């Protein structure tokens, strides 16, 4: 009887742990990306879409926010931020290298923090 209770408890814990690891296939993500103009908008959205798992990407010039719908099973927010930084745009967690920033068109060179 004691063994049955232990086995049932282990099965319950296993199912509970597995349920917590499940990731959202349509997670809504929003974060700030530095930029200035429509050329920046195209570049930022293109960089986001280049990451597998990104289903939707819309960057707002006015708010500097990038709104995404992401499959968390295929990518993470940090992966997306790193790709955007490679395109020359800073985020809170990933900064563009000086060389990537310098490659931006002059109208796209935003004030860096």
Q: Which residues pair with 67 in a beta bridge?
A: 30, 58
Q: What is the pLDDT along the chain (113 residues), one digit of tens a residue?
A: 767 766 666 666 666 555 555 778 899 999 999 999 999 999 999 999 999 999 999 999 999 999 999 999 999 999 999 999 999 999 999 999 999 999 999 999 999 98
Q: What is the pLDDT of residue 6?
A: 64
Going from the C-alpha of 26 to that of each of 10, 48, 54, 111, the distances in angstroms are 31, 15, 9, 33
* Domain chopping of the chain, boundaries: 23-108
Q: What is the pLDDT of residue 62?
A: 97
CATH domain 23-108 topology: Alpha-Beta Plaits (3.30.70)
- List the structure tokens of 107: 């109208």
Contacts 24+ apart (CB under 8 A), 72-79: 72/23, 72/24, 72/25, 72/27, 73/23, 73/25, 75/51, 77/29, 77/31, 79/51
Residue 13, pLDDT score: 62
């Amino acid at each position: 009887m004691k063994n049955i209770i232990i086995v049932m408890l282990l099965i319950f814990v296993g199912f509970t742990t597995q349920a917590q690891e499940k990731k959202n296939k349509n997670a809504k993500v929003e974060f700030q990306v530095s930029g200035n103009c429509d050329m920046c908008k195209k570049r930022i959205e293109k960089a986001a879409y280049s990451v597998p798992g990104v289903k939707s990407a819309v960057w707002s010039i006015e708010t500097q926010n990038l709104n995404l719908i992401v499959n968390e099973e295929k990518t993470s927010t940090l992966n997306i931020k790193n790709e955007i930084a490679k395109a020359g745009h800073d985020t809170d967690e990933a900064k563009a290298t000086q060389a990537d920033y310098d490659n931006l068109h002059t109208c796209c060179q935003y004030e860096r923090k």
